[in-house]
Amino acid sequence: MEQRDIKSLTLSELQREFTGLGLQKFRAGQVYRWLHQKQVLSFEEMSNLSKDTRELLKQHYRITRLDIQRKLVSKLDGTVKFLYRLSDGECVESVLMQYKHGYSLCISTQVGCRMGCKFCASTLLGLKRNLEPSEMLEEIYTAQRETGQKVSSLVLMGIGEPLDNYDNVLKFLGILSSADGMNLSLRHVSLSTCGLVDGIRRLQTENLGLTLSISLHAPNDAIRSQTMPVNAKWNVEALLDACRDYFAATGRRISFEYALIAGVNDTDACARELVHRLKGMICHVNLIPVNAVAERGFRRSSPQRIQSFQRILQSGGVNATVRRELGSDINAACGQLRRDSILHEGEAAPSKSPAPAARTGKGAGANDSSRKHRRGPGAHGKPGLL
């Protein structure tokens, strides 16, 4: 019998299934809390269930877990980067960052990506598959288990395009924010998209309270089309229209990501054009010095250029900050660890479980504490299916 992925079920789905299995409905609540509050990884640990019930559950369900293939700890700021191995051997990344207000985790939503942005390492090998809700949840639970820290905010900015995996992402957010689950308010969640306008329009009807981040990266179609294939389907005007509507419907300020690439989108003229495009919008612009990706040949703008760009936005009345770089010594740029892992297939692979970061210690050195389960590249689809 094929065992079902129990961690991807909502509480009401679980209740329905349990009733079908002849179990009392309240058992579903108990199991759900074991999975999503105590975050256990086996039915054996569910000590308020009888042995027979646990056996029955084992026959019908599996509990998704992720293996930590690599774990890097930044010696600069304690940022922890995980390369997780999924049950089918695919890999995704998460990054745990410490801020004044607590720990924030950046998670992946797909294995690879088909959006084809030219500056992004995640999309180099195309999309392999969507992540299941259980796998996204387990990115969080495993990071918490491993570090002993509680994740208090979340950004969907790792590998993948969240709105290209819409249903699973929505289900994931539902379980994440449920009272019998982690109960994380979606006000502490940011979802980042390269600009899938149909998804943005759908999202605005869900009333989730999350922050929408838009990867804009250019003030006009000519520049945006050079680096982002999605712009051929939804151009800057269509995207900004959707953002204005999103704000009108939800009252949530839009956050724009703008990665500054030397000589591509970082001139004073670009900054002035951006001011003009964003005039009147309630928004925030996050300026990001682009992370160089060897295959792409893009360079980051100089600090002076970045400053000048920011100054023009601010004096034009557009709220803009420069993103603080975390984990710069551990290759924390999106998708680079997974890409390296695929390219370096065949290296020796000791397979000891990694030490928790708490033990490894903050400032203990850029620490690669595990390299295991290396595997070859799969039949990766090519990017740019839009």
Q: Which of 93, 132, 161, 257 is catalytic?
A: 93
Q: Tell me the C-alpha distance between 256 and 243, whole Å.
A: 10
For this structure, is 194 an active site residue? no
Rounded to whole angstroms, the Cα distance separating 274 from 51 reads: 63
Single residue of 149, 165, 193, 369 touching ligand SAH by CB under 6 A: 193
Cα separation, 37 vs 45, whole angstroms? 13
Q: Does 161 bind ligand SAH (CB under 6 A)?
A: yes
Residue 190 near ligand SAH by CB under 6 A: no
- 334 catalytic, yes or no? yes
Binders in 21-50 for ligand SAH, by CB under 6 A: none
Q: Which of 39, 149, 192, 370 binds ligand SAH (CB under 6 A)?
A: 192
Would you say 224 or 374 has its CB closer to ligand SAH? 224
* Residue among 157 and 270 whose Cβ is closer to ligand SAH: 157
User: Cα(127)–Cα(76) distance, rounded to whole angstroms?
Assistant: 32
Cβ closer to ligand SAH: 293 or 312? 293
**Site membership for ligand SAH, residue 386 (CB under 6 A):** no
Going by C-alpha positions, the residue among 198, 318, 200, 285 that lies closest to residue 249 is 200
Q: Which stretch binds ligand SAH (CB under 6 A): 28-36, 95-103, 190-198, 337-345?
A: 190-198
**Burial of 320 by CB count in 10 Å (0-12 exposed, 13-18 middle, 19+ buried)?**
buried
Q: Give the angle 98-68-296 at the CA atoms, nearest 5°.
A: 75
Of 135, 147, 158, 151, residue with least CA distance to 185: 151
User: Applying CB under 6 A, does 120 fall inside the site for ligand SAH?
Assistant: yes
Write each residue from 283 to 322 as x if it is in contact with ligand SAH (CB under 6 A), else as -, in one continuous string: -----x-xx-x-----------------------------
All residues at 6 or more sequence positions from 145 whose CB lies less than 8 Å from its CB, including other chains: 39
Beta bridge partners of 80: 73, 96
So which residues are the catalytic ones?
93, 334
Residues in the site for ligand SAH, rule: CB under 6 A? 115, 117, 119-120, 157, 161, 192-194, 215, 257, 259, 288, 290-291, 293, 333-334
